[in-house]
Structure 1
């Protein structure tokens, strides 16, 4: 019996046990959850300080044209999330404190690796951002947060994905390079995004409602990526500490209060890393990088700030001596509520560019010198620039269900100019239980 069947059986049994909701009925369009309010129990527990996050997301992709392998096929990936948050003030009388525990389970395959890129090059981005880090169950969040001085200072300790707090952007795109936590998709080996967590401590200072600064100290441990350690909190293998720093401005502009997010950050890693610029297989005892995130709503719909257009841009710079991707930039827009008849639908269009580090490319292809030629096993092809574009439309079917078909266009998949540009048809589904 497969894993997905077990999850479906569990969720169906949960709904049957809970019955119809009082405040929100099961499968009601206005309900935040598919299974409603559990006969009022969910709201009752929330009032007592216990909130649940039960979610499913799937992403399918079909190579409609191009890519390295022209064999047309569909690849499917998904993620189940089961989280619980405890308001410790309501439960235990500990003021301004909370505890979060989250399990994730990922399944499926990656069209990018299977069809789009030359195996002798490898992935740059992915057309299914939810895929990755193994088909396993993981402890993704296990942290305690304490707030001080009327929320001016917040300290968080525990198992935390770096991308939960740093370089965050609101995104509904399916392409990996149009999503959140981009340094973790490019630096490699030190910055782990969802669903991988690291032992960490973070501190955030809110200087005012619109300005903040934050810093984190994340234990770097490659064993976190091992699929045998998804539920293991005690494995050894620490190699250093990742220290990200971020400054942010979150204004509400104009009379309509248009929300914006402006972030400038950087990171420093104390872990040893391969020095791709060295001629003697040397190492470097630190790694550095920087990033920015801009997201700004620019219009409303007849004064309704919940509808309108937002623009975004992200960029990263990673140390050329140690990074896989040394430069990246993306731009795009999204629009919520394009039609009066469907005020909660949304659509977006985005474009991303990434450059594989020249030093990395030269370093990895040195092994080609000992081979007879491109036909030899182990021969690596050149990698350079890749462009990723996506357009999507999100159908808000209910408050608990959104369906987002999309079309993606990948230029130079895997950063290899000899690989045909690819057109990909995608489909994302999000369900809150």
Structure 2
């Protein structure tokens, strides 16, 4: 994958577990790659996420969700002599249940891996590097969230409020997500080794999110428009900075259809009239995100503490949420001899719009409930990532949700109780596992 694509989250990209869960490549044995000499790099990994709410939510329960990913990267210079060319392919098989859906009642999952629960074509793109690798263009069947608004830091956590991408963008736009691929293209240019500009365009098509879609329908029938994410940033690595950092400003123009949060086509309260919510067109938003390593005791090691944060705002359209703020810390290298382990804490705040609150309030009052609703949902997580071997990583985690939103159960007559969740996440990278058995 290109450097930009390789910064995707652990559960959703074609990158293997060694790249996606913060495992440094130099710590792992050379993965088993029988076709490497021919320019083909194989991918096969499995991610599982379990969760149980020991208190709070609608009822106590437990759920497991998992993803099997397989694919390959084709170096077209080795295969066909095309300098700077590469073909990327990946499929997923997702299964299991969402604890948030069955027991907590909020619309932000405590298991990031949940969604598009079938066998799906997730990635089929051509990547072309130009101008001595200063310009990268990628196009094909893909999704916006593996290239924009993502960082390898985020999926040291399990909650979908942080892992993958800041959840706000999916609540307030048609930002396309892994593995529900559609047509898309992006270009990323580096002005020097630290400053870049990045822009993309992705098909908005509700068919791609339907349960029966498997990603192999390449037509654009029923597409309603496109979404255009963009960003400019300052980015360094251990290769050119003692304390690596990323500072990125960006946003999106969503030129696709979406459902009004409150009204039906006749102007009534859709939740009460039982008519479809009105179709609207066009939204936009902006964001600022950063991560900054703040301690690195040994310049020969990547151990250290990193601070990261996100601020997001909707700028047009009739939105469910108005703003999102996130702040977290991640320590890489914990106890002696545990250089690849991580300990992290993240907290974020989703602020709901007047429209979203009015929708729930109308339903709740009609059922005899109180009109008083919390405006903010706060989610937090404490997670430890243990690198058991170069191929296997586990991450037990504790999550707490203050004011779980009621959007999935609007006729509930009282607030959902704050939820305390125990989570457990693991990833197995098969090529690296097989390398250790040769």
Corresponding position: 1:296 with 2:292: yes
The answer as to 2:122 corresponding to 1:140 is: yes
Where does residue 144 of structure 2 map in the other structure? 162
Q: Which residue of 1 aligns with 2:417?
A: 420
Mapping 1:251-330, distance limit 5 Å: 251=236, 257-276=242-261, 281=267, 284-319=280-315, 321-330=317-326
Equivalence map 1:133-282=2 (5 Å) = 133=116, 135-170=117-152, 171=154, 172-182=156-166, 185-187=169-171, 190-235=174-219, 236-251=221-236, 257-276=242-261, 281=267
Residue equivalent to 1:374? 368
Separation in structure 2 between the aligned mates of residue 272 and residue 255 of structure 1, nearest angstrom: 43
Partners of 1:54 and 1:432 within 8 A in 2: yes
**Partner SS, residue 360 of structure 1:** helix
Counterpart contact for 1:124–1:386, Cα < 8 Å: no
Alignment of 1:432 onto 2:432: no
Q: Which residue of 2 aligns with 1:85?
A: 73
Cα 1:115–1:97 change in 2 (3 A) is same
Quick check: 1:336 aligned with 2:332? yes
Q: Specify every segment of 5 or more residues in structure 2 that has no aligned partner in the other structure, as ranges.
A: 1-25, 268-277, 408-413, 431-438
Alignment check: 8 A CA contact 1:310 1:335 kept? yes
Is the Cα–Cα contact under 8 Å of residues 220 and 240 in structure 1 kept in the other structure? yes
Question: What is the DSSP-based 3-state SS (H/G/I as helix, E as strand, rest coil) of the residue aligned with 1:339?
Answer: coil
Cα distance in structure 2, aligned partners of 1:405 and 1:253: 28
Contact 1:320–1:359 under 8 Å retained in 2 = no
Query: 2: distance between equivalents of 1:381 and 1:106?
Result: 38
The whole-number CA distance in structure 1 between the counterparts of 2:121 and 2:131 is 31
Deviations 1:334-357 (A, max 9, x none): 111112222211110110110122
Partner of 1:357: 353
Q: Corresponding residue for 1:398? A: 389
- In 2 relative to 1, CA 216–183 (structure 1 residues): closer, same or farther, beyond 3 Å? farther
Between structure 1 and structure 2, the one with the greater Rg is 1
- Tell whether the 8 Å contact from 2:168 to 2:350 is kept in structure 1 after alignment: no
TM-score for the superposition, normalised by structure 2: 0.81
Alignment partner of 1:108 out of 96, 102, 108: 96
Which position in structure 2 is the counterpart of 1:120? none
- Per the TM alignment, residue 222 of structure 1 is displaced from its structure 2 partner at its CA by 0.5
Kept in 1: contact 2:100–2:107 (CA 8 A): no
CA–CA distance in 2 between the matches of 1:338 and 1:294?
Answer: 23
After TM superposition, give the deviation of residue 277 of structure 1 in Å.
7.7
**Cα pair 1:60 1:76 within 8 Å, conserved:** yes
Please say if residues 285 and 316 of structure 2, whose CA atoms lie closer than 8 Å, have aligned partners that are also in contact.
no
CA RMSD between the two structures: 2.7
Question: The residue matched to 2:212 in structure 1 has which SS?
Answer: helix
Matched, 1:131 2:127: no
Comparing 96-105 with 232-241, greater Cα deviation is found at: 232-241
Q: Which residue of 1 aligns with 2:39?
A: 49
Q: Distance in 2 between matches of 1:394 and 1:77?
A: 18
Contact 1:202 1:215 in 2 (8 A): yes
TM-score, L = length of structure 1: 0.82
Cα deviation code 1:219-262 (max 9, x no counterpart): 11000001211132234211001111111110359996211111
**Structure 2 CA distance for aligned equivalents of residues 94 and 188 of structure 1:** 40
